[in-house]
Amino acid sequence: MGRTFAVRALRESELAQAFPLMRALIPRLRLEAWLRYARALGEPDAARAGVMSAFDEQGYICGLFCYRMETGLEHGPKLLIEHACALDIVDRQGAIDALLGAVDDLARALLCAQIDVHLDQAQVILSAPHGPFISALRARGAVINGIRLSKPVENPIPGP
């Protein structure tokens, strides 16, 4: 059953309402830490960082992601997406699709050449070989904590 989702920036007054989604990703997260993190994303330039949310027809938050612009050495401006989450019971894939469409639109609007998405997962299976850098880090106590996927942005929207 397909539903309609509207994706927009999360307002200050909606941050606490979004907390259960973040808590689903990070069970030990405290409300105060979430509020501090989300508020800091918009400072000093709210156009370059923030929280986007997918709302259903009744206005409930069904998904969200945090974003910020970075400058990469290889590709230049890129959009980093973190803490992506969709928890709609009826149409989770619809919420995910709406959020991913918003990621693409946002990256084009910000003239980013690349999108990096860091997925929060306790365990990620990587195909072998892992390579010497990963092996060396793991030998020094590093653990795999998620995965980052990247893709180029097609047709960035020209600036003013």
Q: Domain for residue 157, yes or no?
A: no
**In a domain? residue 1:** no
For the segment 115-143, the average pLDDT, to the nearest whole number, is: 63
State both tokens at 108.
């084009």
| pLDDT tens digits for range 48-64 | 999 999 999 999 999 99
Q: pTM to 2 decimals?
A: 0.80
Whether residue 88 is contained in a domain is answered as: yes
Asked if the structure places residue 160 within a domain, the reply is no
Q: Give the total number of structural domains in the chain.
A: 1
Per-residue pLDDT for 123 more than 50?
A: no
Q: Using 50, 70 and 90 to split pLDDT, how confident is the model at 143? A: confident
Q: Which domain does 57 fall in, by range?
A: 6-122+148-152
Burial 12-45 (b: 16+ CB within 10 A, else e): eebbeebbebbeebeeeeeeeebeeebeebbeee
